[in-house]
Amino acid sequence: MSQRALDDTFAVLEECDRELGRTAPVLATHVATRHGDEGLAYNVTRGTVESIAARDGVMGLIMGDHLMADGLRPEPAKGERRTVDFNDSFELLCTHIDTIDEWSGRPFRHVGIGSDLDGFIKPTLAGVETAEDMCKLEVALADRYGPASADQICSGNALRMLYDYRWPS
């Protein structure tokens, strides 16, 4: 989304919040964080991450190689991946997790997985190409960040957001 579209969206949400008397969270799926001045326009900026976090929302990281590697890896030959194997892809994914954590100020609260492994995004991150690979990803996340944080990233944050907003206490 363009910055204007984002600004308009958050303005409309603020109006809705006033009418409903509560803050609606934002679920931004299929995203990556923007790195560098000329990053892809549809990758989220620090300001967008801060706005989503302020609404207690979640950003689901996409497994698209070109989206995740933009601004972090050199441009590959047309149709080629920038990642070479699962471990390389995992390190790249963790860069985005750590960036969202830093920009949001709340470790593991606002990050999730928005994989898009239905075959539309090509190429995917190396080693993360099917739903079966998500099990390997969850284990690696637990090894890196601990089981509770891995659970938040893999499903807990998205479920929390949906349950808290749909059925508030």
Q: pLDDT per residue over 77-119, tens digit each? A: 887 899 999 999 999 999 999 999 999 999 999 999 988 787 7
Q: How far apart are alpha carbons 163 and 157 in whole angstroms?
A: 10
Taken as a whole, the chain contains a residue count of: 169
For residue 103, give both structure tokens: 């920009």
SS3 content of the chain, % helix, strand, coil (to 5): 50, 10, 40
Q: pLDDT per residue over 22-67, tens digit each? A: 898 999 999 999 998 778 888 999 999 999 999 999 999 999 999 9
Residue 147's alpha-carbon distances to 3, 4, 153, in angstroms, are 36, 38, 10
Q: Which domains does the chain have, with CATH numbers?
A: 25-166 (3.20.20.140)
